[in-house]
């Protein structure tokens, strides 16, 4: 049975739309010891929520691990990488505010350890997240990715960005 994960990325660096456009990418740039341990625990076929961090703070899509963990040959700090492919965009973003309001997520790493960029999601929490996707949101609309003023001009990846574009 596949495991479930959540991976975080700043959408101005690499967004869900970038992953859809690219078709697949290397998920890299992770340096936190606990996040690296989680990344090394991923396996082909596992599913992960793509979470936009920064000002958006919402789960926006589902991706699949298509190549398991390997040391990142481009990172002298000893990071690892997995290859991912988009499965589908969520019907609506599921915000961190919404998850914090749900007692079922009180002990979820996304709520407890906000800086962690890769984390496991239990099967029960995954199911609850998928149920929330189709429930109406009680939040006001937020700025969406691709809004004016939110695009990096250089197109270069920042160190520790979490994902890189395939070339």
Whether 164 is covered by a domain: the verdict is: no
Give buried/exposed letters for 92-123 (b at 16+ CB in 10 A, else e): ebbbbebbeeeeebeebbbeeeeebbbbbbee
| Phi and psi angles of residue 39, each rounded to the nearest 5 degrees, phi first | -60, -40
**pLDDT tens sequence across 24-81:** 999 999 999 999 999 999 999 999 999 999 999 999 999 999 999 999 999 999 899 9
Number of domains comprising the chain? 1
> Is residue 123 situated within a structural domain?
yes
Relative to beta strand 4-9, strand 47-52 is parallel
pLDDT at 148: 38
Which pLDDT band holds residue 133 (cuts at 50, 70, 90)?
confident
User: Which tens digits make up the pLDDT trace of 92-130?
Assistant: 999 999 999 999 999 999 999 888 999 999 999 999 999
> Is 82 part of a structural domain of the chain?
yes
Q: Which domain holds residue 117?
A: 4-132
Does some domain include residue 147?
no
Is 139 contained in some domain?
A: no
Q: Residue 42 falls within a domain, yes or no?
A: yes
Give 29: exposed, middle or buried? Use CB within 10 Å, 0-12, 13-18, 19+: buried
- The CATH number that applies at residue 17 is 3.10.590.10
What pTM value is reported for the model? 0.81
Residue 90 lies in a domain: yes
**Angle of CA points 167, 55, 47, to nearest 5°:** 55
Distance CA 6, CA 58 (A): 11
Please report whether residue 16 resides in a domain: yes
Task: Output the pLDDT for position 90.
Answer: 97
């Amino acid at each position: 049975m596949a495991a479930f994960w959540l991976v975080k990325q700043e959408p101005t660096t690499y967004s869900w739309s970038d992953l859809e456009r690219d078709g697949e990418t290397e998920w890299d740039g992770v340096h936190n010891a606990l996040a690296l341990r989680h990344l090394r625990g991923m396996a082909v076929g596992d599913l992960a929520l793509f979470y936009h961090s920064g000002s958006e703070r919402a789960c926006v899509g589902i991706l699949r691990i298509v190549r398991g963990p390997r040391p990142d040959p481009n990172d002298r700090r000893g990071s690892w990488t997995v290859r991912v492919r988009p499965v589908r965009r969520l019907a609506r973003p599921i915000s961190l505010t919404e998850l914090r309001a749900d007692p079922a997520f009180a002990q979820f790493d996304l709520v407890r350890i906000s800086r962690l960029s890769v984390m496991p999601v239990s099967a029960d929490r995954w199911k609850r997240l998928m149920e929330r996707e189709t429930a109406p949101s009680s939040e006001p609309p937020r700025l969406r990715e691709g809004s004016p003023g939110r695009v990096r001009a250089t197109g270069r990846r920042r160190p520790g960005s979490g994902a890189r574009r395939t070339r």
